[in-house]
Amino acid sequence: MNSIQRCRYQKVTARFINNSPLAGDMAIISEPQPLLEDFLDHKNNLIAHRFHKHDFFDNFEFLTPYEFKEYLIQRWTLSRYFVPWYCEGINNLKTRKRKLSLEVPGSLAGDIQDLLSYFMAEAKPISRISREQEKAVLQAAISVLTKIVEDEAPINAPSHRQDLLADLAYLGFKEDVFRTLPTIQTLETLKKLSKLVAYSDDQHYPLRTMVTYLVAGEEAVGAEYKHTWPRLRYDYAMTPKKSRFYYNHYKHDNSESGSHTLSFRDVLGMMIVDGKTLAIAKESADKALEARLHFFDQFTGAPKAIKTVKRSLAMAPLLGEGMVRYLRAMAAYQKEEYLGLDFSSLEEIDLNLFPSAFD
């Protein structure tokens, strides 16, 4: 961090150190922030070119009613995890802040090291002032995530999870929600998201965490509803008045004002201060989107082909040996196309068990 960047960092965080309200703190940043804008451009390109062009959304309009229902039910599991996942990050950031409060600056030797670090432009903030600044930025990050959790589970109103369940009941999927278990891919997605915000003593942990929540928790969700809501409206006659969850989230997450995504901007502006932190932010955005897209992979490509074959095999006794041979040939083809997948259950089928109506 050079002297100009350090000066700007001190200016931006000055009012946080004085415990001013978050709204006032956000208003302090007004000068151009090319590093932040560079990151935001990268993030927007990820959403436009990787998220919206993912195979699942590229073929969203061709999903059968069964596939669309299956997607919404698995998506329910992710939505249930939303608040606990955010609380995990809040607790970890609070732990980081408490650890900073327990650190005691060194004596003369420590002061000399602080000065050397300043002039050598080390990224690691070890001086008393830097520690106070970092605690202030951490508090700003905690406030952003806490506000989102409070909006998701308000005290005097139904939670967003209750609203989602009401919409699923309107669609006729409520019973299926409680009968259906999460798939392996859904559970893997939850594990990946949790791992991305797991506590670490790494200096840039707060930056990685906030970028993860911005991309995987906010931007990707808003982008997803751009596809989901039109399908619900035209195929299921769900209107804005009938919807308690989907429409409100579609409208909120895709609006220019009042969006949770905007609350991240100034906090990240205080964290992305040089080329190194910019690179870390971009890398974290890539990982966050990759984890989020893993959920949708189960509805496309090889995983979808496997489910199609297995579903068809369940009907094999009614179709005869010829159809089973066809399905086995299809499985063999898919095995060559998607190496590493386990098709052993398909290969163990005994053709003698089925009638030979197609012979």
Q: Where are the alpha helices (DSSP H) in the chain?
A: 3-17, 22-26, 34-46, 55-58, 65-102, 108-119, 128-152, 160-171, 174-179, 184-196, 205-212, 220-236, 246-253, 260-271, 275-297, 301-313, 316-319, 321-337, 344-347
Looking at the structure, do residues 106 and 44 belong to the same domain, yes or no?
yes
263 with 146, same domain: the answer is yes
Residue 235 in domain: yes
pLDDT score, position 131: 80
Are both 147 and 82 inside the same structural domain?
A: yes
Residue with tokens 């989020």: 292
Same domain, residue pair 167 and 64 = yes
Contacts of 157 by beta carbon, 8 Å cutoff, 6+ apart: none
Residue 296 lies in a domain: no
Residues 243 and 146 in one domain: yes
Residues 333, 262: one domain?
no
pLDDT for the residue numbered 31: 58
Check whether residue 115 and residue 152 sit in a common domain. Answer: yes
Domain shared by 276 and 327, yes or no: no
Q: Residue 300 domain-assigned? A: no
pLDDT value of residue 245: 93
User: Does the residue 299 lie in any domain?
Assistant: no
**176 found inside a domain:** yes
How much is the pLDDT for 343?
Answer: 36
pLDDT at site 341: 37
State how far the Cα of 61 lies from the Cα of 56, in Å rounded to an integer.
9
Same domain flag for 193 and 341: no
Query: Which regions in the chain score pLDDT beneath 70?
Result: 1-32, 103-129, 252-259, 301-359
Domain endpoint, select from 234, 261, 289: 289
Please give the C-alpha separations between residue 285 and each of 41, 100, 161, 188, 279, in angstroms, as whole numbers: 11, 26, 26, 18, 10
Please tell me the predicted confidence (pLDDT) of residue 304.
56
CATH of the domain at 211: 1.20.910
The reply to whether 285 and 327 lie within a common domain is: no
pLDDT at 117: 53
Residue 111 maps to a domain: yes
CA–CA gap between residue 349 and residue 77 (Å, rounded): 33
User: Where in the sequence is the domain holding 248, given as residue range(s)?
Assistant: 3-289
**Burial group, residue 47, by CB count within 10 angstroms (0-12, 13-18, 19+):** middle
Together in a domain, 114 and 16: yes
Whether residue 104 contacts residue 234, with contact meaning beta carbons closer than 8 Å, is answered with no
| Domains: count for the chain | 2
Half-sphere exposure of 35 (CA within 13 A, CB side): 18
138-191: pLDDT as tens digits: 999 999 999 999 988 888 888 888 999 999 999 999 899 989 999 999 999 999
State residue 59's pLDDT score. 93
Is residue 291 classed exposed, middle or buried when 0-12, 13-18 and 19+ CB atoms within 10 A define those classes? Answer: buried
Domain's final residue, options 233, 255, 289? 289
* Same domain? 246 vs 119: yes
pLDDT tens across 33-63, in order?
A: 899 999 999 999 999 999 999 999 999 999 9
Q: Is residue 358 part of a domain?
A: no
The domain boundary residue, chosen from 289, 324, 340: 289
How far apart CA 218 and CA 212 sit, in angstroms, is 9
* Backbone torsion region of residue 172, taken as left when φ is above 0, otherwise alpha when ψ lies between -120 and 50, otherwise beta: left
Residue 134 in any domain: the answer is: yes
CB atoms within 10 A of CB 17: 14
